[in-house]
Structure 1
């Protein structure tokens, strides 16, 4: 099969997803067929692998494909009204969101070094401790929500309502359903949960030590690791 070269006239990952769905509608791809590797799709369409990964994530949310870790992506069906169903996802790009969080939260954490009170730090520590204590009992939805609570507490600690509001908008999973889906999928394993808790601890330690440079590095590492999880 041949994938069309995609013109960059709109959200790239949406066009990629639509093109794959159209191949299924035309019968070029059948149920249970395995899609070509992401790198091959990206090369044929003239796009990046992250854009293909976002497109496949959309199609998995819509029930069009199933992504099997370490194996590949398989056709499950098709979206009967792709554009209408896309509206339910609010066209939010996980990678754009991660990029925004990278810059906004790096600023937030440097301000937290200066402004977070002992009560703020205690509350953040209690959240981390609770996540560790209940890690094995929590389902992935609860774990993700508790992790986001840590970031909300961090944003609240800087005592700037404008920045807090901007940061809060990045944590609303109902506003970013595709990001929420990828986030949950990335944190299914116990190892991934443990690693996220460790990263939160490193951020909090840097704040306690009044080390703005290390706090910013720890946050950037945390956000970059999240993106890496999306790409694996």
Structure 2
């Protein structure tokens, strides 16, 4: 299939998604049994289970215990683009913009954030924690966390700047989380920990720690996304 980096279950997940896009599989269709799919694709049952789990987390299929796996009636936003949701240049430009704006925002947040702002950040973190526990992507909570930091500055221009790229931010957040679901050494938990570190630094009003944590987080996101978009 020409994608050497992908693991077996990624390949299977992509083949199933291609069948959905091509109309071979349709909304509401029941997928074959795990054993049947393992025989069809000539892979292990474990690889099929991992592929189905990934598709379930991505909201492409619904696993009904005791009944089987079914194609969702409505596909998630951006599904038709698979992992290439936006171009590499878009990603580079967006992440450069986020570094410039968000490192500055978190610096201001250390002096400007009020208790209500800190609570908004904590609420978003709580949503992220729930997503981790439920093995969900949690990209909306991710976005809410970063916007809460911008809003805490009280600078409407900064808030508007981030708001203007909100759609692309959410797309890249979702893509980062999808990719990390495919990596054994990284997980959604790691993203949560990075956000928690940012929040704790803002709570302590520690500018150096907060800006360092934000920059580190955004550079990690850039590394994950751009590595995936290489080649």
One of 214, 218, 223 as aligned partner of 1:228: 223
CA distance in 1, matches of 2:162, 2:136: 25
Report the alpha carbon displacement of residue 98 of structure 1 after superposing the two structures with TM: 1.0
Gaps in structure 1 of 5+ consecutive residues: 1-31, 38-66, 78-84
TM-superposed CA distance for 1:229, in Å, is 1.6
| Structure 1 residue 164: Cα displacement | 0.6
Q: Secondary structure at the match of 2:134?
A: coil
* Superposition deviation, residue 185 in structure 1: 2.2
2:200, 2:133 → 1: CA distance?
24
Q: Give the aligned partner of residue 209 of structure 2.
A: 214
Match of 1:4 in 2: none
The one of 163, 178, 185 aligned to 2:178: 185
Q: Normalised by the size of structure 1, how large is the TM-score?
A: 0.57
Deviations 1:206-230 (A, max 9, x none): 1111111111100000101111222
Q: CA deviation at 1:184?
A: 3.9
1:186-216 deviation digits (Å, cap 9, x = unpaired) = 3426952111111111111111111111111
Give the Å deviation of 1:167. Answer: 1.6
1:28-177 superposed matches below 5 A: 32=1, 34=2, 68-69=6-7, 93-137=90-134, 139-140=136-137, 143-173=138-168, 177=171
Q: Which runs of 5+ in 2 are unaligned?
A: 19-79
Which 10-residue stretch deviates more, 96-105 or 186-195? 186-195
TM-score, normalised relative to structure 2: 0.57
What secondary structure sits across from 2:181 in the alignment?
coil
Distance 1:226 1:90 in 2: 15
CA distance in 2, matches of 1:188, 1:97: 22
Shift of 1:183: 2.4
How far off its partner does 1:90 sit?
Answer: 7.4
Seen in structure 2, the aligned counterparts of structure 1 residues 72 and 165 have a Cα distance that, compared at 3 Å, is same
CA separation of 1:120 and 1:182: change in aligned 2, threshold 3 A = same
**How many corresponding residue pairs?**
158
